[in-house]
Amino acid sequence: MEEQKLLQVDDLRVEFRTDEGIVRAVNGVSFDLAAGETLGIVGESGSGKSVTNLAMLGLIPQPPGRISSGTALYRGEDLLTANAKRLSQIRGRHIAMIFQDPMTALNPFLTVEEQLTEVTRLHLGHSHDEAIAHAIKMLEQVGITGAEKRVFDYPHQFSGGMRQRVMIALALSCNPDILIADEPSTALDVTIQAQILDLMKQLQKDHGTAIIMITHDLGVVANICHRVLVMYGGKIVERADVDSLFANPRHPYTLGLLESVPRWDADLSKKLKVVPGQPPDLAHLPAGCSFYPRCSYREVRCEQSVPPAFERPEGGDFACFIDVDSVKPVEERT
Amino acid sequence: MSPVATSVSSSTSLNTSLTHPLLEVRNLSVHFPFRRGGLLNAQRGFIRAVDGVSFQVAEGETLGIVGESGCGKSTTARAIVKLVRPTAGEVYLQGERIDHLSDLEMLPHRQNLQMIFQDPFASLNPRMTIGNIITEPMNIFKLYERTQRKLEAMRLMDLVGLNPRFLNRYPHEFSGGQRQRIGIARALAVQPRLIICDEPVSALDVSIQAQVINLLMELQEKLGLAYVFIAHDLAVVRHIAHRVGVMYLGRLVETAPKSALYTNPRHPYTKALLSAAPIPDPVAERERQRIELQGEVPSPEKIYAGCSFADRCPIAEASCRETLPVLQGGAHKVACFKADS
């Protein structure tokens, strides 16, 4: 039997009932996560990358949301059918999450000490003094100087980068198995972003935490991730280890995404390649491949049938009928 | 009002464009007062958002201004178009000083000076149709025959890659990238010479960013526009700008032609900024040497005698904290005593 993965998600589907019809935010997503690895989930707004993770933690408001199928096994236990009490034991203790905007994720009325000690007293049964000592230790670990004083400050007394460090300290204070980071560095300046990514890598080395890194920034993926899922229209369109994904993208969307990012080491004589068109309307997904209307490599069959997952030679898979290496894009066909 | 408006703008563009840079900013400062403490013993101070910034933009040129949040790049943009009042300094458009003008006197100049904003959701009136949004500037400047304006709006929509059939639709029916195109069409409606772009692509998805960058570059080629392009993303600026200025805490610390700035950055802050920006390539990322900056950008209310970057600078000496370095040099200017030449 295959070794049990830390997290195994199978055929997850999430939909939202709206005035414009049923919005299919996640459409049959399956992936797994091994202990100690960093899995990147890349996609644009509306690709379903955040909803996938919120659904696993029971954070989708139902209604209007609905998890219509799937399992999400954490150490063999299905998170999607776990009751609220069990979920709140897991959240924060075994699976923790950090968000894009640390100011809205921290409670502005409570000091950092109150927020950090609440978690450890609840989950680890720390006494008051133990909890405070632990909170100070965590702040020191994430590089906050003068932690024994700063721990009594309120969130607004910290800068953006420091607040994100507090969030990370909060998320890691029970030494979870999995850290879900939803765009953790997007709101930060580049020099601060570099500090936060380095900090996450260091903490992963020290604690062996598995990280799910949700981001739209391919630079962040290249910096921190081991494996990558590319999502489009609520589906995984390509999965591979980070090196082969960047070196040898197989799905036209991955290819388009990689080519359309301005790089500061790129050849400037060429114009930026674009992915034409607009992201899909999740309330009215096309019958076939959801990338079909924007795809440069499309064929007739792509409009009618949904492409299954094909294996990549170096591991991983991609959901596309076309071999992008042997077919010319539409613009170059004569 | 309208005859004045049209005659002034046309005569200035004819007479002065050859001898003056399109835009000249001299020693621009914007200080925001703030109060601290209770009502009675309130202490007053100033946030120096922009402090003595000078630069020029030529016809048809793109000047990129980069920096991190709070460095004053957006305030600079807003001060040029007079959305905030400069505290000191001068702004010249086609050789004419505009910073001290009243709103009414400023109006004719606005035909040559337009702006595109960061947030395509907040910068379009949700109650106006796209057609009305684009024709409003034409109405204000009495451009074209009234009956022609709708046709002109449709031409502009086509130019920016929107289907002219959508003329009667409302902003909420469009995605972020399409809305940014509407904002661009609105700016183009009065045939400006210069467009100030304040983070025009940073709110857009990656695949849409490239569309808008390419559109702005094509429009520049077709219409001879000049841009001041404000951004925090160094890679985006490298694509679109001809010259780049780097701001830190309200000051320009380095300005250079694009190729010089990216291949041979001289200010230690520029070097750190370039080394921190992630590259979408895992192999390159692993091999890179990063210059790690200590700490974060200090509060702009702090007043420095010397270089404001000295506290975080890896090569600063004691003397850097005593005297303020001035931006100097030929085409490649730098404000640092220790910059390599």
Report yes or no on B256 lying in a domain.
yes
In angstroms, the separation between the Cα of residue B174 and the nearest Cα of chain A is: 10
Q: Three-class SS string for chain A?
A: CCCCCCEEEEEEEEEEEECCEEEEEEEEEEEEECCCCEEEEECCCCCCHHHHHHHHCCCCCCCCEEEEEEEEEECCEECCCCCHHHHHHHECCCEEEECCCHHHHCCCCCCHHHHHHHHHHHHHCCCHHHHHHHHHHHHHHCCCCCHHHHCCCCHHHCCHHHHHHHHHHHHHCCCCCEEEEECCCCCCCHHHHHHHHHHHHHHHHHHCCEEEEEECCHHHHHHHCCEEEEEECCEEEEEEEHHHHHHCCCCHHHHHHHHHCCCCCCCCCCCCCCCCCCCCCCCCCCCCCCCHHHCCCCCHHHHHCCCCCEECCCCCEECCCCCCCCCCCHHHCC
Distance CA B324, CA A246 (A): 45
pLDDT grade for B14, boundaries at 50, 70 and 90: very low
B219 has pLDDT over 70: yes
Answer yes or no: do B211 and A266 touch at CB < 8 A.
no
Q: Please report the pLDDT score of residue A269 as a whole number.
A: 67
Q: Which residues in chain B are contacts of A217 at CB distance < 8 A?
A: 206, 278
How does the average pLDDT of chain B come out, rounded? 87
Residues A120-137 have a mean pLDDT of 92
CB B25 within 8 A of CB B56: yes
Q: Please report the pLDDT score of residue B38 as a whole number.
A: 63
Report yes or no on B163 lying in a domain.
no
Q: Which residues in chain A are contacts of B292 at CB distance < 8 A?
A: 194-195, 198
Residues A141-151 have a mean pLDDT of 85
Q: Which residues in chain A are contacts of B162 at CB distance < 8 A?
A: none
Report yes or no on B224 lying in a domain.
yes
Residues A310-332 have a mean pLDDT of 85
Nearest Cβ partner of A262 from B211, B236, B272? B236
As a whole-number percent, the residues of chain A with pLDDT over 90 amount to 43
Domains of chain A, earliest start first: 7-94+174-332 (3.40.50.300), 102-173 (no CATH)
B10 has pLDDT over 50: no
Least confident of A38-42, B253-257, B336-340: B336-340
Q: Please report the pLDDT score of residue A240 as a whole number.
A: 95
Q: Please report the pLDDT score of residue A259 as a whole number.
A: 87
Q: Please report the pLDDT score of residue B119 as a whole number.
A: 83
Q: What is the ipTM of this complex?
A: 0.77
A330 has pLDDT over 80: no
In angstroms, the separation between the Cα of residue A211 and the nearest Cα of chain B is: 17
Q: Please report the pLDDT score of residue A320 as a whole number.
A: 92
As a whole-number percent, the residues of chain B with pLDDT over 70 amount to 91
CB B340 within 8 A of CB B267: no
Least confident of A242-246, B44-48, B166-170: B44-48
Whether the bond into A286 is cis, omega within 30 of 0: no
Provide the residue range defining the domain that includes B60: 2-35+44-112+192-334
State phi, psi for A184 to the nearest 5 degrees.
-70, -20
CA nearest to B270 within chain A: A191
- B84 sits in the region (left: phi over 0; alpha: psi -120 to 50; else beta) called beta
Question: Which residue bears the tokens 């003595």?
Answer: B52
Report yes or no on B340 lying in a domain.
no
Mutate one of B62, B162, B205 to test the A interface: name it (highest A CB count within 10 A). B205
Answer yes or no: do B239 and A272 touch at CB < 8 A.
yes
Crossing angle (nearest 10°) for helices A128-141 and A112-124: 120
User: Could you tell me the CATH number of the domain that includes residue B254?
Assistant: 3.40.50.300
Report yes or no on B182 lying in a domain.
no
Report yes or no on B131 lying in a domain.
no
Chains A, B: CB contacts within 8 A come to: 132
B37-78 confidence digits (pLDDT tens): 666 666 677 888 899 999 999 999 999 999 888 889 999 999
Q: Please report the pLDDT score of residue B298 as a whole number.
A: 76
Answer yes or no: do A265 and B279 touch at CB < 8 A.
yes
A84-127 confidence digits (pLDDT tens): 899 999 998 999 999 887 778 889 999 999 999 999 998 989 99
Residues B262-281 have a mean pLDDT of 90
pLDDT grade for B8, boundaries at 50, 70 and 90: very low
B184 has pLDDT over 90: yes
B105-135 confidence digits (pLDDT tens): 999 999 999 999 988 888 999 999 999 999 9
Answer yes or no: do A278 and B208 touch at CB < 8 A.
yes
B36 has pLDDT over 80: no
Q: Please report the pLDDT score of residue B3 as a whole number.
A: 41
Q: Which residues in chain B are contacts of A44 at CB distance < 8 A?
A: 205-208
A192-231 confidence digits (pLDDT tens): 788 888 888 988 998 889 999 999 889 899 999 999 999 9
How does the average pLDDT of chain A come out, rounded? 88
Q: Please report the pLDDT score of residue A260 as a whole number.
A: 86
Whether the bond into A262 is cis, omega within 30 of 0: no
The number of distinct structural domains making up chain B is 1
Q: Please report the pLDDT score of residue B1 as a whole number.
A: 37
Element at B25 (helix H, strand E): strand B23-36
In whole angstroms, how far apart are CA A215 and each of A41, A301, B276?
Answer: 6, 31, 17
B231 close to A (CB below 8 A): no
B11 has pLDDT over 60: no
CB atoms within 10 A of CB B200: 30
Report yes or no on B240 lying in a domain.
yes
A173-193 confidence digits (pLDDT tens): 898 999 999 988 877 778 878
B146 has pLDDT over 90: no
CB A260 within 8 A of CB A71: no
Report yes or no on B162 lying in a domain.
no
B189 has pLDDT over 80: yes
